[in-house]
């Protein structure tokens, strides 16, 4: 059942049907009676306009592409949710892509997205110019907004990971800790790099040399936190506090601590990152840094939609300005951090 069926059934031309049901139906002059009839017939026939044809004709699909490393990660799930919400209320659909942090897949996805002529794409989780054929990309009017720091030009929404890490680390420092470990995720992630940097900065600000043995590279998983902690705890001069690159890692740390009979925070302090929903239901309640993932999503979508409304669809590589939205982060102090067990000893070689 196509527009033509409706047209003939209503005894009008396809043009009229299009006017009655089309994109800017309300801002079109036509006899009320005619419109009513078209509407009714279309209703009776169960007519659903073909968006493909419409898009082809209008040169806009009302579809957004969203590329993330992994939706099954709570962090990105919130973001996806935010994007989806604002996109759909603005009348856009969103197609989802998982890269698994594989730059090759990123490139492939960007390619399919361009082929399907999405109006814009949001890339979260890091991308480099080399990860896709930017030259090709710029031939099409597809708009981009990035989430997080990146090597690409164009608008983006970011959070101050460096500052956030400085915040937690200072919190621990203020409590009297001097040997503070950092349980990181994959160092290839820009986010992780930044968090490590912030951690280092805070240490440096207190005149403490960063001990590379205290920075442990792993995954963003409980398992990784569990193993990393074991490593750290069996050291001669073990840390009195552990900052984790995310809350899942922190859960692993907590598990290992209780398995070793170590009390948190009395014997070792633990801090996380992200403030996922369980964090306040762990015992001890986890001190962590809240990241507004949902807002990151809505902001990114907002930035993109703004470009789409603003810019004419023809402007070839017109990727808007370099507008950067920096979203605030918040230290959530709960119960998992306290003063170190003994008064800080003299610095050891």
* Residue with smaller CB distance to DNA, 4 or 206: 4
Given 8, 36, 44, 57, the residue binding DNA (CB under 7 A)? 57
19 scored as a contact of DNA (CB under 7 A):
yes
The packing angle between helices 161-174 and 190-205, to 10°, is 40
Residue that the structure tokens 């990123």 belong to? 106
- List the x/- string, 66-105, binding to a copy of itself by CB under 8 A: ----xxxxx--xx-xx--xx--x----xxxxxx-------
139 scored as a contact of DNA (CB under 7 A):
no
Give the interface segment with a copy of itself, choosing from 222-230, 233-241, 265-273, 327-335 (CB under 8 A). Answer: 222-230
Give the interface segment with a copy of itself, choosing from 17-25, 192-200, 252-260, 341-349 (CB under 8 A). Answer: 252-260
Q: Count CA within 13 A, CB hemisphere, residue 128.
A: 9
Given 140, 193, 210, 339, the residue binding a copy of itself (CB under 8 A)? 140
Give me the least distance between CB of 183 and a copy of itself, in Å please. 14
24 scored as a contact of DNA (CB under 7 A):
yes
CA distance 182 to 252: 14
Q: Residue 188 binds what, of a copy of itself, DNA, none (CB under 5 to 8 Å, by partner type)?
A: none
Q: What value, to the nearest 5°, has the Cα angle with vertex 345 and ends 339 and 348?
A: 125
170 scored as a contact of a copy of itself (CB under 8 A):
no
62 scored as a contact of DNA (CB under 7 A):
no
Q: What value, to the nearest 5°, has the Cα angle with vertex 141 and ends 138 and 144?
A: 75
Given 8, 9, 16, 201, the residue binding DNA (CB under 7 A)? 16
Q: How many residues bind a copy of itself (CB under 8 A)?
A: 58
Give the interface segment with DNA, choosing from 48-56, 160-168, 196-204, 215-223 (CB under 7 A). Answer: 48-56
CA distance 65 to 200: 36
* Cα→Cα distances 125→145, 149, 222, 254, Å: 12, 9, 20, 27
The H-assigned helical ranges of the chain are 3-10, 14-21, 32-45, 51-58, 74-89, 103-115, 134-137, 161-174, 190-205, 222-233, 247-259, 293-310
Q: How many residues bind DNA (CB under 7 A)?
A: 32
Containing 288, the helix (H) or strand (E) segment is strand 288-290
* Residue with smaller CB distance to DNA, 31 or 342: 31
CA distance 54 to 59: 8
Write the CB contacts of 157 (distance below 8 Å, at least 6 apart in sequence).
145, 146, 147, 296, 299, 300, 303, 324, 325, 326, 327
Give the interface segment with DNA, choosing from 27-35, 226-234, 273-281, 294-302 (CB under 7 A). Answer: 27-35
Residues that bind a copy of itself (CB under 8 A): 1, 46, 48-53, 55-56, 61, 63, 70-74, 77-78, 80-81, 84-85, 88, 93-98, 111-112, 114-117, 133, 135-136, 139-140, 221-223, 226, 248, 251-252, 254-255, 258-259, 277-278, 280-283
């Amino acid at each position: 059942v196509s527009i033509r069926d409706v047209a003939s059934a209503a005894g009008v031309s396809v043009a009229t049907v299009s006017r009655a049901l089309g994109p800017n139906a309300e801002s079109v002059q036509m006899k009320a009676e005619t419109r009513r009839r078209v509407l009714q017939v279309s209703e009776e026939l169960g007519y659903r306009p073909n968006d493909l044809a419409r898009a082809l004709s209008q040169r806009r699909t009302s579809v957004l592409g969203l590329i993330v490393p992994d939706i099954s990660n709570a962090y990105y799930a919130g973001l996806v949710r935010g994007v989806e919400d604002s996109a759909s209320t603005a009348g856009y659909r969103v197609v989802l892509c998982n890269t698994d942090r594989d730059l090759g897949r990123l490139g492939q996805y960007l390619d399919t997205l361009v082929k399907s002529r999405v109006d814009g794409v949001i890339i979260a989780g890091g991308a480099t110019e080399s990860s896709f054929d930017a030259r090709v990309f710029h031939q099409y009017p597809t708009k981009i907004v990035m989430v997080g720091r990146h090597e690409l030009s164009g608008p983006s929404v970011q959070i101050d990971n460096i500052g956030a890490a400085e915040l937690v680390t200072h919190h621990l420092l203020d409590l009297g800790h001097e040997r503070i470990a950092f349980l990181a995720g994959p160092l290839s992630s820009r986010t992780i790099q930044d968090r490590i940097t912030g951690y280092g900065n805070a240490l440096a600000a207190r005149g403490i040399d960063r001990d590379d043995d205290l920075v442990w590279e792993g995954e963003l998983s409980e398992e990784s936190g569990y193993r990393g902690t074991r490593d750290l705890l069996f050291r001669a001069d073990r840390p009195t506090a552990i900052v984790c690159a995310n809350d899942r890692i922190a859960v692993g740390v907590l598990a290992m601590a209780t398995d070793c009979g170590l009390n948190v925070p009395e014997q070792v302090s633990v801090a996380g990152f992200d403030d996922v929903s369980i964090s306040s239901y762990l015992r001890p309640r986890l001190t962590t840094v809240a990241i507004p993932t949902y807002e990151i999503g809505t902001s990114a979508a907002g930035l993109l939609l703004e470009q789409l409304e603003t810019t004419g669809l023809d402007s070839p590589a017109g990727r808007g300005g370099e507008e950067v939205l920096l979203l605030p982060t918040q230290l959530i102090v709960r119960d998992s951090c306290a003063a170190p067990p003994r008064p800080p000893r003299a610095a050891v070689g």
